[in-house]
């Protein structure tokens, strides 16, 4: 009986530490993007790249791009960079005309957490 209490206490302490670990609260936050947020680019990009703080699952992630007059921009399938599981690549299937664009994104990180956000850029 005397050995059960220290074991139970040790197990409880172990699970408390694991539960409070920063990794348990991890979410994939957008750290960098191209074109950059609020940027005015002179050459229309052929793809968007979004870099996140955590690895992401491309099959459960997506990006929509809206252009001038709220027109949807055709994009190809979102894919993850083969060499960097934190980077999403979004091919643009049409050339972007001058104007303002909004990028709405949602991702699921490899640990299952969902995040979403948006940013703007413009083509001159």
> Based on the structure, what is the number of domains in the chain?
1
For residues 80 and 88, what is the distance between their CA atoms, to the nearest angstrom? Answer: 5
User: Would residue 61 count as lying in a domain?
Assistant: yes
Structural domain harbouring 107: 27-123
User: Would residue 14 count as lying in a domain?
Assistant: no
Q: Find the CATH number of the domain harbouring 49.
A: 2.60.40.1220
What pTM does this model have?
Answer: 0.78
Q: What DSSP letter does each residue of 50-112 carry, written as one string? A: EEESS-B-GGG-EEEEE-GGGPEEPB---EEETTEEEEEEEEBSSPPPSEEEEEEEEEEBTTS
- What pLDDT, on a 0 to 100 scale, did the predictor assign at position 36? 98
- What pLDDT, on a 0 to 100 scale, did the predictor assign at position 24? 45
Give tens-digit pLDDT for 53-76: 999 999 999 999 999 999 999 999
User: Would residue 4 count as lying in a domain?
Assistant: no
| pLDDT-wise least confident of 13-27, 34-48, 78-92 | 13-27
3-state secondary structure of 3: coil
Pick 81 or 13 by higher pLDDT: 81
Q: Are strands 99-108 and 47-52 parallel, antiparallel or unpaired?
A: unpaired
pLDDT greater than 90 at residue 95: yes
User: Would residue 19 count as lying in a domain?
Assistant: no
User: Would residue 39 count as lying in a domain?
Assistant: yes
User: Would residue 2 count as lying in a domain?
Assistant: no
User: Would residue 68 count as lying in a domain?
Assistant: yes
User: Would residue 6 count as lying in a domain?
Assistant: no
pLDDT bucket at 48, cuts 50 / 70 / 90: very high
């Amino acid at each position: 009986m005397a050995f059960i209490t220290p074991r139970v206490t040790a197990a409880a302490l172990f699970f408390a530490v694991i539960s409070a670990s920063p990794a348990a609260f991890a979410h994939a936050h957008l750290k960098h993007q191209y074109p950059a947020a609020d940027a005015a680019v002179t050459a229309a990009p052929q793809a968007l790249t979004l870099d996140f703080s955590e690895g992401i699952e491309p099959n459960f992630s997506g990006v929509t791009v809206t252009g001038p007059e709220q027109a949807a921009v055709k994009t190809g399938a979102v894919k993850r960079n083969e060499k960097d599981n934190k980077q999403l690549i979004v091919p643009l299937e049409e050339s972007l005309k001058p104007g303002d664009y909004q990028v709405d994104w949602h991702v699921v990180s490899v640990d299952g957490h969902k995040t979403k956000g948006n940013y703007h850029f413009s083509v001159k």
